Amino acid sequence: MIESLKKQDVRKRCEEALQKAKEYQHVLNAVVTFYDIEEQLEGLNAIREDAPLYGIPVVLKDNINTKGVRTTASSRILDNYIPVYDAHIVEKLKAAGAVIIAKSSMDELGMGGTNRNAYTGKVNNPWDVTRISGGSSGGSAVLVASGAVPIAIGTDTGDSIRKPAAYNGIIGLKPTYGRISRYGVIPYASSLDHVGLFAAAVHDAAKALTVLAGRDDRDMTSSYEAVADYEKAINSDIGGKRIAVFDNVLEAIEDSRILDNFKQLCETLKKRGAIVEHVRLDDSLMNALVPVYFIISNAEATANHSNLDGIRFGMREDGDTMEEIMIHTRTKGFSSYVRKRFVIGSYSLFEENQEKIFRKAQKVRRKIVEELARVMNGYDVLLAPAASTVAPHDEDACEEKLSKTYLVAENHMVLGNFSGYPSMSVPTGFLEHMPIGINMTAHPFDEQSLFDIGAAIEEETGLKDKIAEVKA
């Protein structure tokens, strides 16, 4: 899609993208803030026309700092926050010639998987607006799936790019931990957060990663690993590629139609010369994914957002004392869902609880990562359905259950956050007129295998640049 867009007039394509996003807003509710793009269009005069994203319209998740443009992380408490600097990835995008048209809605502070708890309200799926977009990067996913933009930026702490990608029928990439700098990104959980992206085609995702990846001294977790030209290196001839099928996930899925689609894909990959074998992780460790994630992520979030108190930062509510101001501000500034997560995080960090809860969760996380490394040894990617169902209707969406389907099939992608391994979701078909997809996890800094196999899947399914028709 990026290459076809480049054949159009720059101003025309950017203005059309902005107009389309505005036209769809009352239906999808995907945008928090629209840009005035005139200054950026004028700024392109200083950019070479052969820049990789020259004049390409993009969208940023609203937890990414943008100088002079409101950045709320879809939380009431940050409704008045206007950053004084750009995030590293914003600098990268602008240098590559991209034009930012909007900041997209998200689950508040990144906490959620439905995009129902944004301060601006639920984001709707463009394939069926009665269904959820998935979260927390739902707004970015929806704006790519609806055809408003070819590239959108998201963040992923548990599966917040890859699950919405599956629900919306697009590519969702979470690269290796440290592959993209997080400088200027409002955090959720620092040891789990990744910056990633959405695209409607594998080649576009590869091009975008080449732009965004690389060392940034302002983020000490960013990697010195050399950045490849991922798009140029794509090779969809996957003969000899070794693919491990994730049996724990298959066994937890109840919908036979999801399984049939996945099995058919596996047969197709075999016909293309891939070696497809079945593996499984220790069941007790798989059942620990959700509790370990909740303990670590909420503890880190509590520490990261301790400054959102109405005194040092964010919106302020009235009170007679400093304590009252903080209580009133946090009560009105955060949704009940987020306040609940802060309670969990605070409890885990109490001095008397740190060893038996937080430290124990960290130890279990290490065992999970060791088990993942053991199972993936000798394989290029680990393959599984990205979700156990199509995107649920709003009233059916539930994030916290204790069923095997929820604990394993709906949360297995957190393995990529625990380990930092790169992971990507790719659409593979439709069910009930809604998209479904698969997820692949590769070894650290082997994003190329994800793109190679993803391109082969794309060729077989014919779903490249498949866009939803939105009735605005």
CA–CA gap between residue 180 and residue 211 (Å, rounded): 10
Known catalytic residue at 191: no
Catalytic residue among 61, 94, 174, 241: 61
Catalytic residue among 74, 133, 136, 181: 136
Catalytic residue among 74, 75, 133, 160: 160
Known catalytic residue at 61: yes
- In the block, which residue shows the tokens 């095997």? 404
CA–CA gap between residue 221 and residue 89 (Å, rounded): 15
Known catalytic residue at 136: yes
CA–CA gap between residue 23 and residue 300 (Å, rounded): 38
Residues acting as catalytic residues: 61, 136, 160
